[in-house]
Amino acid sequence: MKRPGFLATLVLCACGGGDGGNPETVLSSVESAGFSFAIITDIHIGEGYDSYGGQEDAITARARKAVARVNAENVAFVFILGDLTDSAEPAEFAKARAIFDGFSVPWYPIIGNHDMWTYTSSAEADAPVGDALFAQTFAGRFEGLVHNVETVWNPEKQCWSTFRNFEVRHGGYVFLGLDWNTRSHATVGKGANPGGDLHDFAGGTFPWLQSRLAALPADAKRVFLLQHQPFRTPAPVPDWIYAFSGAEKDKLRAALLAAAPAALYWGHFAGHLHREASLDAFDEWPGFAQVETDACKETAAVTLVRVKPDGTIEVLRLPPQ
């Protein structure tokens, strides 16, 4: 493994206690060896344009830099944690796909709030159709994985929603990529609101998560959640605006703990707030980690995570560029 000049190294935790695909055949076993994976987030391709036409600029250059930085590391796969686009335009999605096809390892995108509702300076979609564009653009990235495959009626927002939740298993470790993004329109301006929803209805994210937790293998070593919105926001930012309400977090914690012991859950990785942070996600659950990665659009930020043979999880931050 190549060793860069890391900005920070943090050992956060030692080892503890209708879908398509078969999780047992997703990735090869690494029972006797460690592995690494990478995270980038908040690329915002198309930012600053009235209507994006595929232009190359500083943001696309930083995205390509992030790809090159990841390719220089010995990682098994990459997660992209949302806001690949700035306003969910088809050309923005196409550019994101073209750039991230440059990864030399499997990569798995998660949708963010900026990817949800298509708009330009002069027009806006009538409904949050960005999720369907996201699913169409990145469909091939989820082949062989357990993932949502259908568009469902969203009774909470009275619209059709396409959720792309997925599961990756690797050497006994389980990664759950989750779409918590609200389909509510922005209170001010265009696009979607920034917060999260559990989507607790048929075909939604919450029941999908419950089904995957019920299917956890008996020999699972750790479970990681990957999503756009973090569970905790910094004061004085209210969680319920930019993330989740207290009731939603209570419900989610209860579902996790009903399915498996607390020690099985390492925590979650997120973006959204454009900052680097490592903290506990919940006061009620010390040790459930929240690791945020800074916005790629600003610093070509990359988080590397090393899972050592003894189960120790090490989070490494590449220096900003």
The pLDDT-based confidence of 6 (bands split at 50, 70, 90) is very low
Q: How confident is the model over 136-149, as a mean pLDDT? A: 95
Residue 21: what pLDDT? 46
- pLDDT tens digits, one per residue of 107-121: 999 999 999 999 999
- Say which residues have a Cβ less than 8 Å from residue 105's Cβ, sequence separation at least 6: 70, 71, 75, 76, 77, 78
Where do the domains of the chain lie?
8-317
d(CA 113, CA 193): 7
User: Is the pLDDT score of 230 beyond 70?
Assistant: yes
Query: What is the percent of the chain with per-residue pLDDT over 70, rounded to a whole number?
Result: 90
**With 0-12 CB in 10 A as exposed, 13-18 as middle and 19+ as buried, what is 146?**
buried
User: For residue 11, is pLDDT > 60?
Assistant: no
How confident is the model over 2-19, as a mean pLDDT? 40
In this prediction, residue 237 carries a pLDDT of 87
Average pLDDT, the chain: 92
Residue 149 has a pLDDT of: 82
**What per-residue confidence (pLDDT) applies to 16?**
37
- Position 32 scores a pLDDT of 61
Q: Average pLDDT, stretch 12-36? A: 52
The answer to whether the bond into 236 is cis (omega within 30° of 0) is yes
Could you report the per-residue pLDDT of 26-77, keeping only the tens digit for each? 444 455 689 999 999 999 999 999 999 999 999 999 999 999 999 999 999 9
The pLDDT, as a whole number, for residue 5 is 36
Q: What is the fold of 8-317?
A: Purple Acid Phosphatase; chain A, domain 2 (3.60.21)
Q: What's the chain's length in residues?
A: 321
pLDDT number for residue 30: 53
Return the beta strands (E) in 56-172 as ranges. 77-80, 107-109, 146-147, 151-154, 159-162, 166-170
* Residue 227, both tokens: 């999503």
